[in-house]
Amino acid sequence: MKSIPERIEGEFLSSLTSLTEGITEPFRIIAAFSGGPDSTALLLLLSQFQKQFSYDLAAAYVNHGIRSPEECSDEEEQVESICRQLGIPLYKKRCSPGFLEHYSKLKSCGLEAAARTYRYHHFEKIAAQSGGAVLFALGHNQNDQAETILMRLFSGSSLEGLKGIPVKRDRYIRPLLNTDRVDIEKYLVNRDIIPVIDKSNLKTDFLRNKVRLDLLHTISESFPAVQDSLLRFQHDLKDVLEHYNGLLKKSCPWTVISMGESLGCSSKVFFQLPFVSRKSMILEQMNHLQKGLYSSDRRIPAAFFKPLQDNLKNGIILKGHGIIFQKKGEQLILSLLPDNGKEESHYSVFYLDKEHPYETESYIIELSTASELQEGDHILSIIDINPDTESISTPVIRRALGKSELRNFPVKIKDADLLLFCGNRSVCALNSQKMILPKNGKLKKISNIDSKSNVLCVIIRGRGHYAPG
């Protein structure tokens, strides 16, 4: 009988072989690494088989700024330590405290979804910088798959969504997806590795934690094999749908038109399909046009697809979520919305104190006490990372902001990258060259300064495609 390490390594080798099959050019694997059990095992195994597969290996870590600074600091030290021991380059990204909460409200999504979007945006930026073939390895395991199936089942997911987490989608691979969490933890014990334990995973603040700690536990009391049953259901459904979707593609083929910016199919054939198949087909083609942005399991309101129930006259059938779907004669055409690439303003909110500067790829923002100013005033230093440019400083009144004040920040200052606030009043702004744009020509003192507060709220206004980070 094989030992736990032998079994885990054998399963991982088989999975990685399948996932990298067909890659002929030199490639790079970047492991999403948090220091937790799954991602630690993933990184160790990728490092072990690096020479055999001849890939370049790196790790990517994201500090989401959700937990306490002490926890985040300990986690980051552990991540850096393991990467040093393995000799693996590390990409680090810090999310400013408060930003993900703001982003989740702005996009009407949960904090988990906002964090996921932030991570993937960071990964794509790394891929763009790397050049060549890049794969991102994620640490999802068998238990994650079962939890996902259960969550989607109770949230009214489509059949496509019940196919679960894919082992590979575009450049993202999950070599541990068929490995049980308990085996992963035993493997790490055998390797004398103590991973970071994210204490938030032990609380039921997030939906997945509630499912894992409460719902699955309750179900397993009556149905001990619930995880195996869910995985078997997922596997069977996936096989059936792949066969059915293959038949659909043959019966209703789509052709590329307008230099790849639109897709078309026969209206008569499309509307002969069952409604669920029409919806599935539109999602798949949206995913194709958006280059992976809209997957078949993406949560788009069911009402959006209602017009697909009827064979309408010529004109627009669907419009939104980045696409426009319309009927022209006997042909249906799916295209990206004309303003899909339009630049728009977006805002990042973060809190700054003397111990925690804010760092971007272009500059660092630091807060320090200004002895020549009145009590409660601070200097906000904008330090360009380019050593050939000079620092820019401006006095900013320090004051903690309430939620009601954050709702009222103005948006009228044009071409400003940075807005500094006291209460709900803007103090000054920076343009794209990081030059100070004082409000009304002068910085005015504001009365009733709270000298006990040690936090300044800063709101960054960016211009371009809306994406966090």
* Domain locations in the chain as residue ranges: 4-139+174-202, 256-336, 344-464
Quote the tokens at residue 68.
Answer: 């306490």
If one compares 386 and 332, the residue with the highest pLDDT of the two is: 332
Distance, CA of 393 to CA of 68 (rounded, Å): 29
Question: What are the φ/ψ torsions at residue 61 (nearest 5 degrees)?
Answer: -120, 135
Q: What is the pLDDT of residue 463?
A: 39
Looking at every residue in the chain, the average pLDDT score rounds to 76
Distance, CA of 382 to CA of 418 (rounded, Å): 10
Architecture of the domain spanning 256-336: 2-Layer Sandwich (3.30)
Which band of pLDDT confidence, cut at 50, 70 and 90, is reported for residue 347? Answer: very low
Which band of pLDDT confidence, cut at 50, 70 and 90, is reported for residue 366? Answer: low
Distance, CA of 468 to CA of 86 (rounded, Å): 30
pLDDT surpassing 80 at residue 81: yes
Q: What is the pLDDT of residue 299?
A: 64
CA angle 58, 142, 191 (to 5 degrees): 55
If one compares 385 and 176, the residue with the highest pLDDT of the two is: 176
As a whole number, mean pLDDT of residues 110-121 equals: 85
As a whole number, mean pLDDT of residues 390-408 equals: 40
Q: Which of 48-57, 141-150, 413-422 has the lowest mean pLDDT?
A: 413-422
As a whole number, mean pLDDT of residues 130-134 equals: 87
pLDDT surpassing 50 at residue 291: yes
Which band of pLDDT confidence, cut at 50, 70 and 90, is reported for residue 292? Answer: low
If one compares 143 and 375, the residue with the highest pLDDT of the two is: 143
If one compares 199 and 2, the residue with the highest pLDDT of the two is: 2
Distance, CA of 225 to CA of 219 (rounded, Å): 9
pLDDT surpassing 80 at residue 40: yes
Residue partners of 256: CB distance under 8 A and separation at least 6: 262, 263
If one compares 299 and 217, the residue with the highest pLDDT of the two is: 217
Which band of pLDDT confidence, cut at 50, 70 and 90, is reported for residue 428? Answer: very low
* Burial category of 333 from C-beta neighbours within 10 Å (exposed 0-12, middle 13-18, buried 19 and up): middle
As a whole number, mean pLDDT of residues 169-179 equals: 95
Say if 4-139+174-202 and 256-336 have the same CATH topology: no
Residue 56, strand partner residues: 28
**CA dist 268 → 70, 125, 265, 339, 392 (Å):** 61, 42, 9, 29, 64
If one compares 435 and 287, the residue with the highest pLDDT of the two is: 287
If one compares 99 and 265, the residue with the highest pLDDT of the two is: 265
CA dihedral 363, 425, 110, 339 (to 10 degrees): -70
Q: What is the pLDDT of residue 368?
A: 54
pLDDT surpassing 70 at residue 408: no
Task: Convert the chain into a string of H (helix), E (strand) and C (coil).
Answer: CCCHHHHHHHHHHHHHHHHCCCCCCCEEEEEECCCCHHHHHHHHHHHHCHHHHCCEEEEEEEECCCCCHHHHHHHHHHHHHHHHHHCCCEEEEECCCCHHHHHHHHCCCCHHHHHHHHHHHHHHHHHHHHCCEEEEECCCCHHHHHHHHHHHHHCCCCCCHHHCCCCEECCEECCCCCCCHHHHHHHHHHCCCCCCCCHHHHCCCCHHHHHHHHHHHHHHHHCCCHHHHHHHHHHHHHHHHHHHHHHHHHHCCCEEECCCCEEEEEHHHHCCCCHHHHHHHHHHHHHHHCCCCCCCCCCCCHHHHHHHHCCCCCEEEEEECCEEEEEECCEEEEEECCCCCCCEEEEEEEEEECCECEECCCEEEEEEECCCCCCCEEEEEEEECCCCCCCEEEEEECCCCCHHHHCCCCCCCCCEEEEEEECCEEEEEEECCCCEEEHHHCCCCCCCCCCCCCCEEEEEEEEECCCCC
pLDDT surpassing 70 at residue 159: yes
Q: What is the pLDDT of residue 394?
A: 38
Angle separating helix axes 37-48 and 69-86, nearest 10 degrees: 10
As a whole number, mean pLDDT of residues 403-430 equals: 42
pLDDT surpassing 70 at residue 38: yes
As a whole number, mean pLDDT of residues 43-58 equals: 97
As a whole number, mean pLDDT of residues 419-427 equals: 44
Contact by Cβ (8 Å): 462, 346: yes
Distance, CA of 16 to CA of 331 (rounded, Å): 42
Which band of pLDDT confidence, cut at 50, 70 and 90, is reported for residue 419? Answer: very low
CATH of segment(s) 4-139+174-202? 3.40.50.620
